[in-house]
Amino acid sequence: MASLRQHCEQRLAGLKALRSDYESEWQSIARYAQPARSRFLAGGRDKGGKRRAHNSRLLDPHGIEAFRTLTNGMMSGLTSSSRPWFKLRLGDPAMDEEAGARAWLGQVESALYGFLARTNFYSAAKAGYAEMGLFGTEACVMVDHAEHGAVCHSLTAGEYWIALSDAMVPDTLIRIAPMSARQAVQAFGEKAPRSARAALDSGDGERLVEIHQLIERDPDFKPDQGARIDSKPWRSIYWHAESGRDAVIRVAGYDEQPFWAPRWDVVGGDTWGVSPGMEALPALRELQMQVKRRNEAIDQMVKPEKVVKPGLRLTGEPGRTVSAAGFDRDSVLIPYPMPYQAVAVIGEEIEKCRRQIDGLSFAGLFNAITNMRGVQPRNMEEIAARNEEKLTQLGPVIENVTREKLSIAVERAYGIMARGQLLPPPPESIAGQAIDVEFVSILTQMQRAVGVDQIERTVGFIGGLAGAQPEVIDKLDTDALIDEFASRAGVPGAIIRGAADVAALRAQRAEAEQAAQQQAQMAQIMVGAGGGAEASGVGVPLDPTGGGDPAGALMQALGVA
């Protein structure tokens, strides 16, 4: 039976072979669109602390600008820290109407938002969107931290490997965690690699040590032994490649999936995703080539190649005077004059490449108003219609991000807070109920805006019919209408009353209206009875002790009760 260390090495070897088909393409994307990302431009690993190599091939930064727009647009549209992007609800919708349920869910939401803001989650999320747009896949690990609550380790292409489960979602992550000797000793103590401890003792605490980590489902997990570290649903194994053959540094467990690895898009059963960066790579290459040709054409126009008489030396420097004997205008010949139209022709090709890059990277979508042609400003309805049409292209991507990233991140943060007793206790009526997460970000709401428009059109249609036939209003369930509209619009649950609260409020209002109506009727009867009794001489017998019901006695005297 293979040891735990051998198991890790075998899995790593298999995943390396699986990833090798993508590495050359990732390297090209990084070179032309974002040299700061990936670990390929520096030879695949850090060399002397050098995170990236100098990129002298990049002549036009438009690719960087386009994918920066995509990254910022995805970040602002899906997980903006300045506005709500998720809300909680109970797994059983009927339980949402229990007393205190909505208020408690609102408190938990606020606690989760505050917890994520204290961590580096938002910066890691932004880096992840850049990875997805460029390379098709991102990876991030969220671990507990005593001071900050949690820390997110955002990974870049080239320093991790993933594998899929039978459900075709990532369930295995192997990553390279380069640490300084000082960091390794801080993290693992006496379990740190011997080379790291020796380097720290010798004063070389910044020497890099390459640590590997495997995160996977624990095959030995036993739900009835959840209190034991070695029976958690997920396990983490750290090892050092240069240590002994069977040596591991640390084995730990997680109660929920500690990492996420969403893909932009997937072809068939592929493990790694495909990205806008892959689709835009031909245009990125051509852009650099055309810019190089344009610069060469300009140089040829400004400093053309010349044929001169022997002994005559021309420098081409402006303002310089060259003296020569027996010189005439035919002594200098330009054999290949560059047409001035060439620069404009190449410029058109450059603009074509830029438009292709903007379209393939969705930068044109997030700059829809800025780059809109024609007279500004346009009608807001026209802008909304155009944006809705373009946003349908992002629908599958948003679903992938929601399923493979955001839901895992919120569940992980909730689990860390629950174990740290950082959440308010639930009301007794909903204790033990499952909690679902609904995402209400800007992009998600715009995807669902079609449903809101349908609701508005339906209500407007019914309102128009009600002018001729008022009874058609009975067909409209206004309570269900408000709940559905608020759900699609992402309204916080705290501002919508539950069914029980609404029923109690309506009952109280009905009782008050009934009491007011009875008092009004009594006043009318008293006025009428007083006039009639005076005219007929009929007295109204009252209880001499002050008790009884004067209104009832009056009605009896009048023969109406």
Tens of pLDDT, residue by residue over 243-269, are: 777 789 999 999 999 999 999 999 989
User: Do 232 and 281 contact (CB within 8 A), yes or no?
Assistant: no
Tokens of 251: 């084995």
> Quick one: which of 1, 57, 487 has its CA closest to 246?
1
Q: Which residues pair with 254 in a beta bridge?
A: 234
Give the span between the Cα atoms of 541 and 561, in whole angstroms. Answer: 14
Give the span between the Cα atoms of 86 and 66, in whole angstroms. Answer: 28
Could you identify the residue written with the tokens 């999320």?
Answer: 125
DSSP state of 270: -
Q: How far apart are the first and last CA of the chain?
A: 97
Strand order in the sheet with 259-260: 149-155, 139-145, 259-260
> Quick one: which of 175, 135, 132 has its CA closest to 155?
175
Contacts of 196 (CB under 8 A, 6+ apart): 179, 181, 184, 185, 207, 209
Give the span between the Cα atoms of 96 and 278, in whole angstroms. Answer: 45
Dihedral pair phi/psi, residue 116, rounded to 5°: -65, -35
Dihedral pair phi/psi, residue 149, rounded to 5°: 90, -50
**What are the Cα distances from residue 233, in Å, to 206, 254, 420?**
35, 6, 19
> Quick one: which of 227, 192, 230 has its CA closest to 211?
192
- The residue length of the chain stands at 561
Burial 17-51 (b: 16+ CB within 10 A, else e): eebeebeebbbebbbbbbbebbbbbbeeebeeeee
Burial 511-523 (b: 16+ CB within 10 A, else e): eeeeeeeeeeeee
Contacts of 192 (CB under 8 A, 6+ apart): 184, 185, 249
Q: Which secondary structure element, helix H or strand E, spans residue 486, and what is its range? A: helix 478-489
Q: Which secondary structure element, helix H or strand E, spans residue 123, and what is its range? A: helix 121-135
Torsion sign (Cα): 284, 290, 294, 297: positive
Q: How many CB atoms lie within 10 A of CB 235?
A: 21
Give the span between the Cα atoms of 258 and 255, in whole angstroms. Answer: 8
Give the span between the Cα atoms of 395 and 449, in whole angstroms. Answer: 12
User: Do 122 and 81 contact (CB within 8 A), yes or no?
Assistant: yes
Report the chain (561 residues): mean pLDDT per 10 consecutive residues: 84 94 92 81 45 72 94 92 89 76 89 95 96 96 91 93 95 92 89 89 88 93 63 91 82 94 94 96 96 92 79 67 64 77 94 94 76 56 62 84 96 95 88 87 72 78 84 84 75 72 86 88 77 54 51 52 50
Q: Is 53 left (phi over 0), alpha (psi -120 to 50) or beta?
A: beta
Question: Looking at residue 136, what is its pLDDT?
Answer: 96
> Quick one: which of 170, 397, 175 has its CA closest to 261?
170
Question: Looking at residue 182, what is its pLDDT?
Answer: 92
At how many degrees (to 10) do helices 121-135 and 101-118 cross? 80
**What are the Cα distances from residue 435, in Å, to 78, 379, 432?**
21, 42, 9
Give the span between the Cα atoms of 466 and 482, in whole angstroms. Answer: 19
Global confidence as pTM: 0.78
Give the span between the Cα atoms of 327 and 332, in whole angstroms. Answer: 9
Would you give the distance in Å from CA 553 to the centre of its chain? 73
Q: How many CB atoms lie within 10 A of CB 2?
A: 10
Q: Where are the beta strands (DSSP E) in 182-265?
A: 208-217, 234-240, 250-254, 259-260
At how many degrees (to 10) do helices 478-489 and 442-466 cross? 150
User: Do 66 and 463 contact (CB within 8 A), yes or no?
Assistant: no
